Amino acid sequence: MMEKALLPGLTLPELENYVKALGEPGYRARQISEWLKKGAGFEDMRNLPGSLLDVLRGSAIAQPASILSRQRSRIDGTEKYLFSLQGDHTVEGVLMRYRHGLTLCLSTQVGCRMGCAFCASTLGGKLRDLRAGEMVGMATLINRLCQPERVHNIVLMGSGEPLDNYDEVLRFLNLITSPDGLNIGARRISLSTCGLPEEMRRLAREGLPVTLSVSLHAPNDTVRRFLMPIAHRVSMAQLLSACRDYAQVTRRRVVFEYALIHGVNAAVDQARELARHLAGMLCHVNLIPLNDVPERDLRAATPQEVAGFRQALENAGISATVRREMGADISGACGQLRAQYLKNPVGPMWKETSP
């Protein structure tokens, strides 16, 4: 059986070729594209002839994602989504509300194989990569739900390692920044990686000035190996060299994500050690109070430890901020909602939690 075409993953010229192959005029592609941009399914495409819609339903997919669960925080309005995809797979997304607009955090894989000790996304390993059209579908679906607001920023920091799914993520970035798509500026997109130097250097030369967010979480190789299996094959020296290259080529600062964990990586001396590694680099450190994950025996740093760590970095001339916790009352950490669903695949479509 022939696989159906995933229309949100096609560029406009590719879509034109597709409809022409069906014997339709090329202008139908623009009509379909406008609907896809709105996150619509075939049932919404009322300006297309019924005969074409019948063919499309049998040969193509307009919206590959559906919302299985939607939770909304009553503390800050953050929304957590559990998407259902083909193959009975589920992935998460988070919509965060800031003064500068709506930010959507998306997954790039079903699960993750990187094995970071503080992350729930990796507990079941990686099942498969997401396709570009699936990521576009999730983005357009949420953008449709936001109306009359719209998604202004994209963060690839959900389940999965984006650079481990390089080709599909790159296609997604080109589609989502296109005027024919949601037209989100590349500078409004952040891509989070645990640190794959070859792919980081490749991304730097793609001409897409996205913000690179590197999950560092340690001041040295010893601590990083304890927290992140990737550190057994990529040293901090190798990783930071690739970060310097990225900043130099793109002229964009690298953001280092650093989850503060009591008794592991949150001491003032460790902040000073980290500062020595980052000296002279165009960068910023985003300090993250750890989200407790029941399956991991790691505790968040105390507020005093967080403040002391930040102060030590700033005293050494390193830009640093503490990330505001979002969605704490709705399983906000990556992978938590999916993990709960896999344990008990029955639940409400909508849940608004009390503070």
The edge-to-edge listing of strands for the beta sheet with 320-322 is 320-322, 283-289, 254-260, 211-215, 189-193, 151-156, 101-106, 89-98, 79-85, 66-73, 350-353
Distant-in-sequence, close-in-space partners of 315: CB < 8 Å, separation ≥ 6: none
Q: Choose among 186, 80, 92, 103: nearest CA to 149.
A: 103
The one catalytic residue in 112, 116, 119, 334 is 334
Active site residue 92: yes
DSSP state of 261: B
Residues 310 and 328: their CA atoms lie apart, in Å, by: 22
Angle, in degrees to the nearest 10, between helices 27-37 and 132-146: 60
Residues 57 and 48: their CA atoms lie apart, in Å, by: 12
R_g of the chain computed on alpha carbons: 21
CB 101 within 8 A of CB 153: yes
Active site residue 79: no
The one catalytic residue in 24, 92, 168, 305 is 92
Angle, in degrees to the nearest 10, between helices 236-250 and 268-278: 50
CB 57 within 8 A of CB 22: no
Residues 254 and 263: their CA atoms lie apart, in Å, by: 26
DSSP H or E stretch at residue 255: strand 254-260
Question: Catalytic site residues?
Answer: 92, 334
